[in-house]
Amino acid sequence: MSIIEPGSPLLFMKVGTHANEDLESIIKRKREEIDRGGYAMWGYGGSTCHPLSMVRPFAQTYEDLKRPIRLVMEVMESKHFAEPVAADEYSVDGQNWIPIDTQVHRVLGSRYALFIKDLRLDEITLSLTQSKVALGPSEGRRGDLYIQGRVDKACLVYASPPEVGQENIVRPINLVADLVSPYAALLRNKT
């Protein structure tokens, strides 16, 4: 079964160098975290996929429907030079903070984190024209119209094929992971 079919919930994200660490090193470290702890925390920032108002409600909806939520990532050139400061606590509600076992998980230079497993390289294409924003102020908007400019991530649902004569905007997906509960969290460093 393909991971991208009508009704599939997808969290799309562009990825590359982050906090002065190249993507190859990040992938290696995250796979080691999965091996040690059963999951990894994939750090990110930006406001379009806020953990509390977007990702967790999106994931909960599809968890209730027993549908796996996939993180699909397009590799891009990036120059993210934020300080590689590791978070030491996370929160899934913005009120209660849980220590991160930094011997197992390291999230660098990020405000938020996704909880993932089964991180794998892949070579598939995603038709953004066939996707729609799943929730929030832009709910129902076609993915190709939403993911533009500085918007580099979105909670999407794969939908119907483009209309006849409509340009089909596709993106290469190079990296895939499965989201796992608690799906997403806020991060902070106590010091």
Q: Give the Å distances, CA to CA, from 144 to 2, 106, 126, 132.
A: 21, 33, 10, 8
Q: Which of 5, 147, 165, 161 is nearest to 76 (CA)?
A: 147
Write a three-state SS string for the chain: CCCCCCCCEEEEEEECCECCECHHHHHHHHHHHHHHHCCEEEEECCCCCCHHHHHHHHHHHHHHCCCCCEEEEEECCCCCCCCCCECCEEECCCCCCEECCCCCCCCECCCEEEEEEEEEEEEEEEEHHHEEECCCCCCCCEHHHHCCCCCCEEEEEECCCCCCCCCCCEEEEEEEEEEEEEEEEEEECCC
Q: Mean pLDDT for each 10-residue chunk of the chain (191 residues)?
A: 84 83 90 96 91 96 93 82 78 96 87 96 92 95 92 91 79 95 94 68
- CA 124, CA 39: separation in Å to the nearest integer? 23
- For 38: left if phi > 0, alpha if psi spans -120 to 50, otherwise beta; the answer is left
- Is residue 154 in a domain? yes
Cis peptide bond prior to 182, omega within 30° of 0: yes
- CA 166, CA 46: separation in Å to the nearest integer? 30
Write down the pLDDT at residue 36.
Answer: 95
- Is residue 2 in a domain? no
Write down the pLDDT at residue 79.
Answer: 64
Write down the pLDDT at residue 175.
Answer: 95
Write down the pLDDT at residue 41.
Answer: 96
- Is residue 116 in a domain? yes
Instruction: State how many domains the chain has.
Output: 1
Contact indicator for 160, 131 with CB cutoff of 8 Å? no
- Is residue 71 in a domain? yes
- Is residue 79 in a domain? yes
Write down the pLDDT at residue 159.
Answer: 86
Instruction: Spell out the residues 6+ positions from residue 95 whose beta carbon is closer than 8 angstroms to its own.
Output: none
Q: Which domain holds residue 63?
A: 9-188
- Is residue 117 in a domain? yes
Write down the pLDDT at residue 5.
Answer: 87
- Is residue 3 in a domain? no
- CA 85, CA 124: separation in Å to the nearest integer? 33
Write down the pLDDT at residue 81.
Answer: 58
